[in-house]
Structure 1
Amino acid sequence: MKRSILPYMISGIAALLVSSGCGKGFLDQDIPGRAPLEEYYKTDADAVTATYAVYDLLQAEYNWGWGSPLMVKTLPSDESNAGGNGPADQPNYQALDNFTFESQNQAVLWIWRVNYYGIYRANQVIHRVSGETDLQKRLIAECKVLRAYYHFELTSLWGDVPLITELLQPGDYTATPRTPRADVYAQLEKDLQEAIPLLPLKSQLAPAERFRASKGTAQALLGKVYLYQEKWALAHAAFNEVILSHEYDLEGNFATVFSSAGEFGMESIFEVPFSSKRNYDWGNFPWSTFRQIESNIHVQLMGPRSDFYTKAPGDSLLAGWGFNLPRPKLYNAYIAAGDVVRRTATVMSEAELKAAGGNWTAPTAWDYEGYFQRKYGSFSNYTNGPVNDLNFGNNYRLIRYADVLLMAAEAYYRDNKEAEARAELRKVRLRAGLPEITASGNALFEAIVNERFLELAFEGHRYLDLVRWGRAVTELGPLGFKAQKYELLPIPNEDVRVGNLSQNQGYN
């Protein structure tokens, strides 16, 4: 059973914490009733409710329309095509896939907004909760981790971004400039370093609270912040804290990681829960009151398109709406590596579908190149009626142990510690049934690059990896990527105008 975050957002605190509307800037939010806001956050119960409201934004996948952080980070990669019914089906996602997106892209707008809403809520707790009790100290620490996570999402995708660490007044909303990325990272380091001593170990969390940030969450995120700055020694030291804590391990079977049995399991460091127990149907699904959505509607979006798909009798992968279709490059990478274990849990070919007794009737369907995504698959055991399409409960894994091991391997390699790099790489490969890597020099780095491609497909890492490695032009250029533009997303046009923010290079 999943713990639902949203019920803790009682209507009063929800109204106080965030309000939104068309035509407002990135922080230009109405705050109805300033006196009630200032009177809140006095008790431990207030602080808990407000902190859960900060977590709630991690679930925001549908916001005035389709705007999934996972999709926005995956579609510009070489892992998949947008898919759907055609070029006019979810045009914001199509544009991300084709590198035709500009500053008016609504999916880009909403993940920008959602991250700043999360920061806004985190700042309320950090500055308004007194910290007089041990619980309050811990909650403030959690909100510093969450504030760091939301800021990291922003700066990794947009570069220089407004760094918001205080409770701004309405007049400050249009006078908050973009902060240099290096200064944003410095603040994230500070937040995470302050939070780590106050956070519990994962093993100290009650099962129903495993969605909350632990010491390992903060250490892993700190390592990632260092890695993105090329602070190699600090990065592998932070990752080593996670490894040596013995709080985490690789699941014995790769397929378990993304199964219901793997939710908040030994490999999970930071995970977002969704619920299959809301009994949504076409009459009560909260499309217009989107923050009441607790199922993972994007899993339905990513299922094989129902017009053309018949599932195999022994399989549980249900039909969906046909988005996030794997490219042959990914499937072929598994074949070249002899990687059967991860391939079968990540991607399925049309030939494999038909061999198992299923069928696909549209070889020329839009964006279809012969493959289906299974990692965040639309499996029948993840959903409940009355309408299966609307009730998928697949959790998203934001940080998992295999990623930490591979980031540690990269940091060790860059710091001229190749033996240590091979040791971390070996752990991930052995779980996949592959031999250890004995290479050194550039061949070792190429092995790390490929391992991340195979292990982390469809998890939102590949595009950012290629950009930070300087490989985006080579790998993504044939798909439409242009240098000096698509290394960053555009600042949403609405916030360029209303928030007086400068635009990233190359965008209108």
Structure 2
Amino acid sequence: MKQRLINYKTLVKYIACFLILFVLATSCKKDFLEKKPGYLSSEGFYQTDQQAEQAMNAAYYPLLSFWTNKVSFESDVLSDDAVKGQGSDLAALNSFDILNIDAASDPIKNNWADNYTGIYRCNLVLDNVQPDSDTKKRVLGEAHFLRAFFYYRLVIRYGGVSLSKTTLGGDIKLPRSTADETYQFIIDELSQAESLLPYPADVTSVNVGRANRGAASSLKGITYLQWGKYQDAYNVLKAVVSNAGGKFNYGLTPNFLDLFKVASNNNKESVFEAQTREGADFDQSNGFNFWVRPRNGSTIFGLGFCLPTKSLFDEFESGDPRRAASIFAPGDIISDEPIPGSSGDNVNKHPFQAAWAPETGYGCAKYVKGIFVGNNAEKTGQNKRLIRYAEVLLAFAEAAYKTTGHDNEAWDAISQVRTRAFGYNKPSPHTQLFDAIVHERRVELALEGKRYFDLLRWGLADRYLGALGYRSETKGLYPVPIAELDANPNSRQNAGF
């Protein structure tokens, strides 16, 4: 909480007069983040539609903090899908690699603080914007959605947390709510968002990239699923997938390899993405590519972290194109990109080598394979995919499996994902529905930060992570940051830390 309090004081001083204007992506290819911050008077602010949008734009910024705050792939290295890699480099994640998380580590402090920063900025909007125009109603819907999204990221990591709901007085040293109370608050927020936000099919070109009703309903179903409320999850997600071709306007990108390219930003598979701008400052661009891009000393390469395990590599079926799109194996071509200043030397002359990934022999290909970065290797314009429609389909499959009489619907959802991957309706290698769900989520969503929380939800963490250091007494939760405990006597540490 100490970090959070520092952020609050800074925000109170500056947010009202230093609000960040997003110019959203349009069909004319206008950059989502093309405006720099401007200075505005706090007196009488939040009155116009433009001011309401400016205030809301500031709440989106923490979605890109993974690059600067060392939280880009922390949950992947907790799972059996990846290790941090590269020896003692990026020591801040060493305790994650052995599943004995240091409560004083930067990723823990930053993850907590970033989410609460986003929550505080949402609270500012909800406390000050009046619903007296259609634009302001949409803005309030976005604030409810984002506040739910930040709390969802907290509850799956820390369990029940302090529910900060307003900036207008009150004790900020709040006690922790239970996990059930936190999940219920998230659901209530998403219901509010659903009532205020447009369906994806009704989103205007100037608002592409903002949260919409499809994102709210999808996250609501995913939240119910993680909470163990399977019938509710089924009901919500059924409404989304049943109307994917209509008001929700969702579909699967035909070629899986294209999913993480700039050209696929905000396409039909996008449910919610962190918006970026090529070559912009770190808080406006995507540094994930550079975090995981293989390293070999060339300027076109990266830091080489988040190394996939052989276990993950072997999970893919022979001939599954998702493996090559997700994992670099020795001999794989990274891209055909020229190396800047190299007189014609191309990246394709440097196939991936196992020595570049000393711990596992494999590299992360998502956000990297076939991506041209040029001089912006650390600042790409790839949006960070936070929720995509394939995940919604697989969440629906799981909810259908968990409820009575819906197995055929679950198999159909799995089939849609597999048909996109293989180009034809190839049956799952698993005849048992649950095994098929476990397999499909692992290979489809590999290295997207989902696997660890899947294993916790399924009660399989001991089986798959026990040999890697998983301690059941923690129930898979992260420790509450030491700084929070020092600053807030009403908080408490999670068991096992």
State if a TM-score over 0.5 links the two structures: yes
Query: Which residue does 1:283 correspond to in 2?
Result: none
In 1, Cα distance between equivalents of 2:57 and 2:99: 36
Alignment match, 1:217:
215
CA deviations over 1:213-261 (Å, ceiling 9, x no partner): 1110000011011111221121122112221232101111111212222
Preserved CA contact (<8 Å) 2:304 2:357: no
The answer as to whether partners of 1:378 and 1:392 remain within 8 angstroms in 2 is no
Aligned twin of 1:67: 70
- What's the secondary structure of 1:432's corresponding residue? helix
CA distance in 1, matches of 2:240, 2:4: 43
Give the match for residue 289 of structure 1: none
Distance 1:367 1:105, change over 3 A: farther
- 1:116 is matched by which residue type in structure 2? Y
CA distance in 2, matches of 1:162, 1:450: 35
Aligned residues: 452
1:421 aligns with 2:410: yes
CA distance in structure 2 between the aligned counterparts of 1:476 and 1:118, rounded to whole angstroms: 31
Compared CA separation, residues 438 and 413, structure 1 to 2 (3 A):
farther
Contact residue 79 and residue 458 of structure 1 kept, 8 A? yes
Deviation at 1:338, TM superposition (A): 2.6
Matched, 1:482 2:485: no
Alpha-carbon distance, 1:211 to partner: 1.3
Query: For residue 98 of structure 1, what is the aligned residue in structure 2?
Result: 98
Within the candidate set 275, 278, 290, 1:276 is matched to 278
What is the aligned partner in structure 2 of residue 4 from structure 1?
Answer: none
Question: What are the residue-to-residue correspondences of 1:348-359 with 2, within 5 Å?
Answer: 348-352=328-332, 358-359=350-351
| 1:43 is the counterpart of 2:32 | no
Is the alpha carbon distance of 1:490 and 1:252 closer, same or farther for their aligned partners in structure 2, counting shifts above 3 Å? same
Inter-CA distance 192–205: structure 2 relative to 1 (3 Å threshold)? same
Deviation at 1:201, TM superposition (A): 1.8
Q: Could you tell me which runs of 5 or more consecutive residues in structure 1 were left unpaired when the two chains were aligned.
A: 1-19, 279-285, 287-291, 311-317
Partner of 1:371: 362
Alignment map for 1:271-420 (pairs within 5 Å): 271-278=273-280, 293-307=283-297, 318-334=300-316, 337-352=317-332, 358-359=350-351, 363=355, 367-377=358-368, 380-381=371-372, 383-385=373-375, 388-416=376-404, 417-420=406-409
> Structure 1 23/398 Cα, relative in aligned 2: closer, same or farther at 3 Å?
closer
The residue aligned with 2:267 is 265
Superposed CA deviations along residues 463-485 of structure 1, whole A, max 9, x for unmatched, are 00011111111111111111112
Compared with structure 1, are the counterparts of its residues 259 and 30 closer, same or farther at alpha carbon in structure 2 (3 Å cutoff)?
Answer: closer
- Does the residue aligned with 1:75 lie in a helix, a strand or coil? helix
Aligned to 1:204: 202
TM-score (norm 1): 0.83
Task: Kindly provide the amino acid, as one letter, of the partner of residue 360 in structure 2.
Answer: E
The one-letter code of the counterpart of 2:55 is A
Q: Is contact 2:3–2:483 with CA below 8 Å preserved after alignment?
A: no
Q: 1:499 is matched with which residue: 488, 491, 496?
A: 488
Cα distance, 1:79 vs. partner? 1.0
Shift of the 239–502 alpha-carbon distance from structure 1 to 2, 3 Å rule, reads: same
Displacement after TM superposition at 1:439 (Å): 6.6
Aligned pairs for 1:413-492 (under 5 A) are 413-416=401-404, 417-433=406-422, 435-437=426-428, 443-485=432-474, 487-492=476-481
Secondary structure of the residue aligned to 2:306 is strand
1:466/1:200 Cα in 2 relative to 1: closer, same or farther (>3 Å)?
A: same
3-state SS of paired residue (2:123): helix
In the alignment, structure 2 segments of 5+ residues that lack a partner are 18-40, 335-347
| 1:165-222 deviation digits (Å, cap 9, x = unpaired) | 12253x7122x01011111111111111122132112232234532101110000011
1:216/1:242 contact within 8 Å kept: yes
The aligned counterpart of 1:16 is: none
Q: Report deviation, 1:339.
A: 4.3
| Structure 1 residue 21: Cα displacement | 8.3
Q: Report the equivalent of 1:31.
A: 12
For 2:11 and 2:349, the matched residues in 1 are separated by: 55
2:124 partner letter: Q
Structure 1 vs Structure 2: percent identity of aligned residues?
31
Distance in 2 between residues matched to 1:91 and 1:272, nearest whole Å: 26
Q: Which segment drifts farther, 94-103 or 424-433?
A: 94-103
> Matches of residues 64-213 of structure 1 in structure 2 within 5 Å?
66-68=69-71, 70-84=72-86, 86-87=87-88, 89-169=89-169, 172-174=171-173, 176-213=174-211
C-alpha displacement of 1:350 = 0.8
Cα pair 2:76 2:450 within 8 Å, conserved: yes
